[in-house]
Homo-oligomer: A and B are copies of this chain.
């Protein structure tokens, strides 16, 4: 039986915040697999700040999504038809399925799609999009491989209640560091401290980040994991220690800018402090994801690590739900639930 497949395709390159008219919702039949192919029923999709960058023209670490193409997105799903010997009907998988209900995958495309089986004994579907998925991998490798925290050091992370931020702070605590978050609003900050067990969380909407850093990082900042850019990056630069490491993971405050990105005016603090600012892209660590999954799943099992998702149901809610990321409305990893399973 051929299923109908709803898809969100990119209709126009957004200027600033994506609008409804930048998307086109299309329904087409989900094709039956030919030899070597398999059909995945998409169950949940990951909505990430990085998606905003993929909508722009121009060179980045991966090519932009083309106009008329299904919007790129990672997701988890179940194999519902297979003529590929490596995958059986009923297998749970993750991969770059895009914003659609079904994804037909050719045997030759497995690595491009990043298709891998996932083990639901290690975590739920949503957790496989969060702590055990890209955000978890980003936080884990970005902190440990680029931030290189040492026990006793102070690690600050912005977007602390978000998908990457929650991993960074919790891994920092597990590694013996002081973890200080920056998040927007009292509810998020309370969550970060009470449920994620950060040492402190600074509310950038309700107070002064500079004062918060003075109060909560009395020994200065050794590692800053930056998800936001803009003013917060500039403020943290005034509080870094000698030989500090700043991990540039993203700059959500700048993604919808229609004016040029604001560079960190305090970057000469890097000179004074012999400090480093370094970019990271999670795909570089793909050959070691399994190692991180094993660690994080173990920590979750031991109750040392919390995975918090914000699940919104209905593929038709994609455009509005994506924009929650940029207003900071989401609370935890933002997941779009496409189907039960």
Binding site for B on A (CB under 8 A): 59-61, 229, 234, 248-251, 254, 260-281, 284
**Is the pair A279, B284 in contact by a Cβ cutoff of 8 Å?**
no
In the bound assembly, the distance between CA atoms of A251 and B274 in angstroms comes to 15
Which B residues are CB-close (under 8 A) to A271?
61, 248-251, 279-281
In the bound assembly, the distance between CA atoms of A250 and B273 in angstroms comes to 13
- Shortest Cβ distance from A249 into chain B, in angstroms? 7
**Is the pair B263, A270 in contact by a Cβ cutoff of 8 Å?**
no
**Is the pair B274, A280 in contact by a Cβ cutoff of 8 Å?**
yes
For A259, the closest partner residue in chain B by CB is B265
Which B residues are CB-close (under 8 A) to A280?
271, 274
- Shortest Cβ distance from A266 into chain B, in angstroms? 7
**Is the pair B278, A267 in contact by a Cβ cutoff of 8 Å?**
no
**Is the pair B276, A278 in contact by a Cβ cutoff of 8 Å?**
yes
Which B residues are CB-close (under 8 A) to A60?
272
**Is the pair B262, A265 in contact by a Cβ cutoff of 8 Å?**
yes
In the bound assembly, the distance between CA atoms of A14 and B62 in angstroms comes to 47
For A59, the closest partner residue in chain B by CB is B272
A265 interface neighbour in B248, B260, B272, Cβ under 8 Å: B260
For A249, the closest partner residue in chain B by CB is B271
Beyond A263-B266, A267-B263, is A281–B276 a contact (Cβ under 8 Å)? no
**Is the pair B274, A265 in contact by a Cβ cutoff of 8 Å?**
no
Which B residues are CB-close (under 8 A) to A269?
279
A277 interface neighbour in B250, B260, B274, B278, Cβ under 8 Å: B278
**Is the pair B61, A272 in contact by a Cβ cutoff of 8 Å?**
yes
**Is the pair A270, B274 in contact by a Cβ cutoff of 8 Å?**
no
For A255, the closest partner residue in chain B by CB is B268
In the bound assembly, the distance between CA atoms of A275 and B271 in angstroms comes to 16
- Shortest Cβ distance from A76 into chain B, in angstroms? 26
In the bound assembly, the distance between CA atoms of A249 and B270 in angstroms comes to 9
Beyond A265-B263, A266-B263, is A276–B277 a contact (Cβ under 8 Å)? yes
In the bound assembly, the distance between CA atoms of A61 and B272 in angstroms comes to 5
In the bound assembly, the distance between CA atoms of A272 and B249 in angstroms comes to 9
A279 interface neighbour in B229, B251, B265, B274, Cβ under 8 Å: B274
Besides A251-B268, A268-B279, A272-B281, 13 more A-B contacts (Cβ < 8 Å) are A61-B271, A234-B263, A248-B267, A249-B271, A261-B265, A261-B266, A262-B263, A263-B263, A264-B264, A270-B277, A275-B279, A276-B277, A276-B278
